[in-house]
């Protein structure tokens, strides 16, 4: 069977036809890898067989194609500019690039090499490409380096060094198959040094071809009998082939030198374990973990060995360390879940054995029995109220908190959206307008001798005191949660300041609307301003009580605010905003007059009316209802205070 | 002095009652730099919040004979929609301090530049921490309660905080809570260890660190 190396020899000799035949043979049995395909398509292109070349290119993966195409574009551009180049040959940048590489300035070297490729004449393109690939390899971009090596192989006379480097890159990219073929070419060209053999073996190990790796390593060992890496890798392969005795014998020849290479040391311990040397392997594993405390596989092996010896304390220590320390990484293919399973197994075995002294109960016992140092001895005789200060200072402090919260609310309302306060007017204005249009359409000019617009305005605005106070109180805590970190700011302060601000806003809105009604052309008296204010405060307090209660109870029942939203809607339609009680049928009156807000709205409205106030309104009843609501709100807020804070 | 009297804290979870702090009686001097060591989840932040008064204990009380700061920590005491300045002014009003002085000091210390006029929600964690530090130092407290926060920010800022606290130790104390032994060693004169719900005081820093080390080995 011919290999890629044979074909390249043919190409070197200029025997295109023979090479093409060989390629055809390989392609028909599908034995070409990416590099082979690229080479084959180049050969086809040169002999003008475009369709077949196209097919070969089509089989390449996108990445390979992209890098190759990039190279092709570069070279075509270069040919265009060839005339200029001939007239004025560009300076040779190679020495500069190599100097950069020597100085380990890889990024600069890469940039220079990229530029170098575009300027170099076509006969030197291969060398330039190889140089770029070398730069990329050294800077750690192995994938890109690999594709550049592939191009370099295509462009320049084959050299061992090139193939070896390409193979090494492929190893780094974990593309063992590709690496294998590069090494095979290098090997074919007569590079039989132990280093090459070792690399080929690494590729085979990557492909889990243990037997082949073993053969390669054995021949490498013949050539370099003292090479540490060859011996260790060979032992590793033998472990994989279940030939633990051989591996152990091989590793034992290294003596203590092995301790400088933790993987090899781990393999020796593993070999000892497989050979049944339990004590020796445990001892060595302990030493390994002492020397390399953050080496995950070592720690895991020690844990396993300890488990086998029924030494659960050590095993638990190992597994816990692996799980708790971020810097300990396990080998790929091993997950934390595996370790957790082992840990659980150990803990269970310990519990069965009835010995749980390692489970962490020892220390707190010591902790409680320790004497408290004098400095921390609990003192008595301090004044319990010392920190609180006088009533006056407490009041100033409380005032400061409320003031700060009020200003904060004002700020955030303005900053949230430009409408801000305008919205406080637009919303009730819309409600009044809708009702007004409907009622006028029905043909109503007024209710109970009161002009329609005044009737609706007093109803809608009065009820908005209740509604807005409720809305503000119920989400006050959620909206100010970060500020509750300040120990001086209590949840009640937050609710209170929000409600106060809402009350002030609503009063301003009421005044604006009353002026609006005046401008509209309706006149009205204001009989008892104090009574109006009292009723408005009551509505606000009722809203606050409900808001606090709902916010507190919502910690136990998530959907409560939604359900209560419907209650508010029912209240909106039954609180006499657009009707008076006496307009309704007698049966309905019976039930509706238990609604305290109906009374409050009616009392407020009557203070703006020339007519004699109705007799059914009852301020005492309404006041007591509101006080009960407020009390309920406060009590539930205090009772569920912890939950509100924690929610 | 801060007195912990019969202080207890526990949570109810689906697995039953979880004790964060067993009944504790201690008096903590407020004029020293005190460290509290504890592993992640040991309840250090909860303890600090109780000392500050931001979180109610399950039982018992904390008596403070001094002005304690709020707990400076990752949770942050800033309203995200307000700007840095507005947040400073808020705290200044709450603690009865002159607003202009507080803004001048805190913004100079926090080095936020233009950001001081932007909403706090646009800040990074480090910027928030710097602002919190500057703000707390702008207000005169007898003891500053700090929760791991020095881990935030670059080395230069950490150094600045260390210096600022060192300057204040003559008149103010520090209660610093951390799981990091190196930070405790750098900032504190004396330490307690919080482990499995027990707050264990030590007469010197070294024995506390040694005890903490032995816990780490067992767990």
pLDDT for res B74: 67
Listed in sequence order, the residues at least 6 apart from A102 whose beta carbon sits closer than 8 Å to its beta carbon are none
Tell whether B123 is within 8 A of chain A (Cβ): no
- Residue A491 CA to residue A641 CA, distance in Å, equals 8
- Residue A531 CA to residue A516 CA, distance in Å, equals 22
Two structure tokens written together for A333: 């293919």
- Cβ contacts (< 8 Å) between B79 and chain A: which residues? 408, 412, 480, 482-483
C-alpha distance from residue B4 to each of B21, B22, B23, B28, B63 (Å): 11, 12, 9, 8, 7
The answer to which of A247-261, A391-405, A441-455, A522-536 has the lowest mean pLDDT is A247-261
pLDDT for res A554: 93
State mean pLDDT over A237-253.
79
Element (H, E) at A400: helix A391-416
DSSP state of A141: -
Sign of the four-CA dihedral A226, A227, A228, A233: negative
Contact A249, A236 (CB under 8 A): no
Tell whether A363 is within 8 A of chain B (Cβ): yes
- Residue A203 CA to residue A167 CA, distance in Å, equals 9
pLDDT for res A342: 78
pLDDT for res A646: 80
Two structure tokens written together for A440: 């006028």
Q: Is B65 helix (H, G, I), strand (E, B) or coil?
A: coil
Listed in sequence order, the residues at least 6 apart from B5 whose beta carbon sits closer than 8 Å to its beta carbon are A378, B25, B60, B61, B62, B63
A/B interface, count of CB pairs below 8 Å: 126
Tell whether A404 is within 8 A of chain B (Cβ): yes
Two structure tokens written together for A581: 């009680």
pLDDT for res A631: 97
Residue in B68, B71, B96 nearest the CB of A396 = B96
- Residue A115 CA to residue A100 CA, distance in Å, equals 14
Contact B25, A347 (CB under 8 A): no
Confidence of residue A86 (pLDDT cuts 50, 70, 90): very low
pLDDT for res A383: 61
Backbone phi and psi for residue A258, each to the nearest 5 degrees, phi listed first = -60, -25
State mean pLDDT over A534-551.
96
Q: What is the pTM of this model?
A: 0.57
- Residue B38 CA to residue A439 CA, distance in Å, equals 70
User: Euclidean distance between the first and final Cα of chain A, in Å?
Assistant: 75
Confidence of residue A622 (pLDDT cuts 50, 70, 90): very high
pLDDT for res A382: 67
DSSP H stretches of helix in A4-105: 4-12, 16-28, 34-46, 50-58, 62-80, 82-87, 94-102
Confidence of residue A87 (pLDDT cuts 50, 70, 90): very low
Is B56 exposed, middle or buried, given 0-12, 13-18 or 19+ CB atoms closer than 10 A?
middle
Confidence of residue A370 (pLDDT cuts 50, 70, 90): low
Q: Which of A37-51, A66-80, A235-249, B61-75 has the highest mean pLDDT?
A: B61-75
Listed in sequence order, the residues at least 6 apart from A643 whose beta carbon sits closer than 8 Å to its beta carbon are A552, A555, A556
Residue in B54, B65, B81 nearest the CB of A487 = B54
Half-sphere exposure of A165 (CA within 13 A, CB side): 25
pLDDT for res A56: 72
Tell whether B85 is within 8 A of chain A (Cβ): no
Sign of the four-CA dihedral B155, B159, B161, B165: positive
Contact A312, A306 (CB under 8 A): yes
Position B76 pLDDT exceeds 90:
no
Other CB atoms within a 10 A radius of the CB of residue A118 amount to 14
Other CB atoms within a 10 A radius of the CB of residue B52 amount to 24
Confidence of residue A563 (pLDDT cuts 50, 70, 90): very high
Beta strands in B14-87 (DSSP E): 16-28, 33-37, 59-64
Tell whether A249 is within 8 A of chain B (Cβ): no
Percent of chain B whose predicted confidence (pLDDT) is above 90: 12
Top pLDDT among B114 and A127 is at B114
Position A620 pLDDT exceeds 90:
yes
Confidence of residue A2 (pLDDT cuts 50, 70, 90): low
Position A357 pLDDT exceeds 70:
no
Interface mutation vs chain A, best among B94, B142, B143, B189, most A CBs within 10 Å: B94
pLDDT digits (tens, 9 = 90+) for A27-79: 777 777 766 777 777 777 777 777 777 777 666 666 666 565 555 555 555 55
Of B4, B153, B139, give the one whose Cα is nearest residue B74: B153
Tell whether B28 is within 8 A of chain A (Cβ): yes
Percent of chain A whose predicted confidence (pLDDT) is above 70: 85
- Cβ contacts (< 8 Å) between B77 and chain A: which residues? 482-483, 485-486
Beta strands in chain B (DSSP E): 2-13, 16-28, 33-37, 59-64, 143-147, 173-178, 190-195, 198-201
Other CB atoms within a 10 A radius of the CB of residue A220 amount to 26
Two structure tokens written together for A620: 């005492």
Mean pLDDT of chain A: 80
C-alpha distance from residue A18 to each of A8, A22, A23, A151, A153 (Å): 11, 6, 9, 22, 19
Q: Are strands B198-201 and A450-451 parallel, antiparallel or unpaired?
A: unpaired
Element (H, E) at B102: helix B99-110
Two structure tokens written together for B98: 């002159």
DSSP state of A609: -
The answer to which of A42-51, A262-271, A541-550, B74-83 has the lowest mean pLDDT is A42-51
Q: Which of A111-120, A225-234, A380-389, A627-636 has the highest mean pLDDT?
A: A627-636
Residue with tokens 């190889």, as numbered in its chain: A130
pLDDT for res A550: 95
pLDDT digits (tens, 9 = 90+) for A457-513: 999 999 999 999 999 999 899 888 889 989 899 999 999 999 999 999 999 999 999
pLDDT for res A571: 94
Describe the crossing of helices A94-102 and A125-139 by its angle, rounded to 10 degrees.
20
Q: Is B4 helix (H, G, I), strand (E, B) or coil?
A: strand
pLDDT digits (tens, 9 = 90+) for A171-195: 777 777 777 777 777 777 766 777 7
pLDDT for res A351: 67
**CA angle in degrees (0–180, nearest 5) for A568-A554-A535:** 40
Residue in B1, B55, B66 nearest the CB of A379 = B1
Two structure tokens written together for B151: 């881990």
pLDDT for res A533: 96
C-alpha distance from residue A361 to each of A355, A398, B37, B199 (Å): 11, 46, 18, 15
pLDDT for res A79: 52
Confidence of residue A416 (pLDDT cuts 50, 70, 90): low
DSSP H stretches of helix in A443-520: 452-474, 476-479, 491-520
- Residue B93 CA to residue A482 CA, distance in Å, equals 16
Residue with tokens 């396993």, as numbered in its chain: A304
- Residue A220 CA to residue A195 CA, distance in Å, equals 8
pLDDT for res A148: 80
Q: Is B63 helix (H, G, I), strand (E, B) or coil?
A: strand
pLDDT for res A455: 92
pLDDT for res B149: 64
Of A175, A186, A182, A111, give the one whose Cα is nearest residue A143: A175
State mean pLDDT over B171-184.
85
pLDDT for res A78: 52
- Residue A340 CA to residue A345 CA, distance in Å, equals 9
Q: Which of A82-91, A103-112, A225-234, A585-594 has the highest mean pLDDT?
A: A585-594
Q: How many residues does chain A have?
A: 647
């Amino acid at each position: 069977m011919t290999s890629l190396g044979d074909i390249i020899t043919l190409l070197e000799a200029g025997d295109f036809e023979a090479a093409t035949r060989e390629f055809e043979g390989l392609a028909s049995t599908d034995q070409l890898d990416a590099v082979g395909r690229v080479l084959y398509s180049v050969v086809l292109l040169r002999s003008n067989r475009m369709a077949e070349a196209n097919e070969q290119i089509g089989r390449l993966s996108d990445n390979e194609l992209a890098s190759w195409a990039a190279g092709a574009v570069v070279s075509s551009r270069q040919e265009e500019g060839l005339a200029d180049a001939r007239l004025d040959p560009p300076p040779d940048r190679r020495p500069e690039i190599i100097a950069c590489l020597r100085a380990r300035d890889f990024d600069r070297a890469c940039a220079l090499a990229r530029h170098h490729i575009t300027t170099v004449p076509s006969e030197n393109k291969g060398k330039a490409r190889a140089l770029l690939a070398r730069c990329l390899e050294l800077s750690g971009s192995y994938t890109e380096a690999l594709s550049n090596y592939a191009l370099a192989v295509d462009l320049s006379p084959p050299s061992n060094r090139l193939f070896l480097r390409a193979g090494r890159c492929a190893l780094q990219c974990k593309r063992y198959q590709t690496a294998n073929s590069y090494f095979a070419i290098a090997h074919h060209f007569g590079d039989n040094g132990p280093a090459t053999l070792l690399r080929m073996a690494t590729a085979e190990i990557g492909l889990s071809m243990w037997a082949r790796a073993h053969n390669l390593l054995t021949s490498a060992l013949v050539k370099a009998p003292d090479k540490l890496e060859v011996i260790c890798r060979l032992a590793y392969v033998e472990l994989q082939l279940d030939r633990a005795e051989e591996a152990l014998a091989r590793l034992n020849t290294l003596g203590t030198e092995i301790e400088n290479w933790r993987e090899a040391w781990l393999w020796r311990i593993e070999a000892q374990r497989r050979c049944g040397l339990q004590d020796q392997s445990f001892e060595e594993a302990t030493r390994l973990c002492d020397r390399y405390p953050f080496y995950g596989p070592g720690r895991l092996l020690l844990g396993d060995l300890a488990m086998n010896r029924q030494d659960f304390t050590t095993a638990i220590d190992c597994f816990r360390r692996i799980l708790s320390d971020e810097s300990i990484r396990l080998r790929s293919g091993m997950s934390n879940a595996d370790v957790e399973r082992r840990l659980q197994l150990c803990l269970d075995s310990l519990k069965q054995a009835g010995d749980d002294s390692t489970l962490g109960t020892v220390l707190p016992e010591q902790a409680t029995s320790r004497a408290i140092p004098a400095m921390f001895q609990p003192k008595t005789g301090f004044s319990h109220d010392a920190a609180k200060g006088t009533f006056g200072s407490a009041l100033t402090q409380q005032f400061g908190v409320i003031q700060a919260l009020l200003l904060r609310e004002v700020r955030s309302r303005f900053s949230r959206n430009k409408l801000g306060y305008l919205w406080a007017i637009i919303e009730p204005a819309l409600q009044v307008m809708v009702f007004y249009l409907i009622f006028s359409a029905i043909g109503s000019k007024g209710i109970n001798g009161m002009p329609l617009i005044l009737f609706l305005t007093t109803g809608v605005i009065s009820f908005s005191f209740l509604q807005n106070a409720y809305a503000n109180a119920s989400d006050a805590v959620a909206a100010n949660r970060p500020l509750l970190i300040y120990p001086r700011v209590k949840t009640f302060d937050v609710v209170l300041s929000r409600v106060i601000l809402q009350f002030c806003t609503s009063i301003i809105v009421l005044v604006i609307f009353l002026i609006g009604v005046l401008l509209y052309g309706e006149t009205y008296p204001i009989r008892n301003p104090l009574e109006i204010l009292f009723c408005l405060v009551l509505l606000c307090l009722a809203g606050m009580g409900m808001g606090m209660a709902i916010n507190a109870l919502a910690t136990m029942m998530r959907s409560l605010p939604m359900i209560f939203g419907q209650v508010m809607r029912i209240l909106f339609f039954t609180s006499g905003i657009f009707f008076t009680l006496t307009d309704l049928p007698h049966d309905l009156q019976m039930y509706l007059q238990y609604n305290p807000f109906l009374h409050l709205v009616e009392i407020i409205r009557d203070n703006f009316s020339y007519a004699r106030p109705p007799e059914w309104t009852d301020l005492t009843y309404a006041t007591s209802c509101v006080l009960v609501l407020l009390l309920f709100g406060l009590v539930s807020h205090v009772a569920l205070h912890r939950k509100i804070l924690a929610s | 002095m801060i007195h912990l009297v019969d202080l207890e804290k526990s949570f109810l979870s689906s697995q039953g009652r979880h004790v964060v702090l067993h009944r504790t009686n201690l008096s903590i001097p407020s004029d020293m730099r005190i460290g509290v060591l504890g592993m992640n989840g040991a309840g250090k932040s909860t303890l600090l919040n109780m000392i500050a008064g931001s979180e109610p204990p399950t039982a018992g009380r904390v008596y403070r004979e001094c002005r304690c700061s709020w707990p400076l920590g990752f949770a942050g005491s800033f309203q995200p929609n307000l700007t840095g300045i507005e947040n400073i002014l808020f705290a200044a009003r709450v603690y009865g301090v002159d607003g202009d002085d507080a803004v001048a000091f805190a913004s100079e210390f926090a080095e936020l530049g233009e950001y001081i006029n932007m909403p706090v929600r646009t800040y990074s964690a480090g910027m928030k921490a710097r602002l919190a530090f500057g703000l707390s130092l702008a207000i005169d407290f007898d003891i500053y309660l700090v929760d791991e926060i020095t881990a935030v920010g670059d080395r230069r800022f950490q150094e600045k905080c260390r210096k600022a606290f060192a300057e204040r130790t003559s008149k103010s104390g520090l209660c610093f809570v951390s799981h990091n032994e190196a930070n405790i060693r750098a900032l504190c004169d004396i330490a307690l260890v919080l482990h499995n719900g027990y707050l264990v005081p030590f007469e010197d820093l070294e024995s506390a660190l040694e005890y903490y080390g032995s816990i780490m080995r067992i767990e």
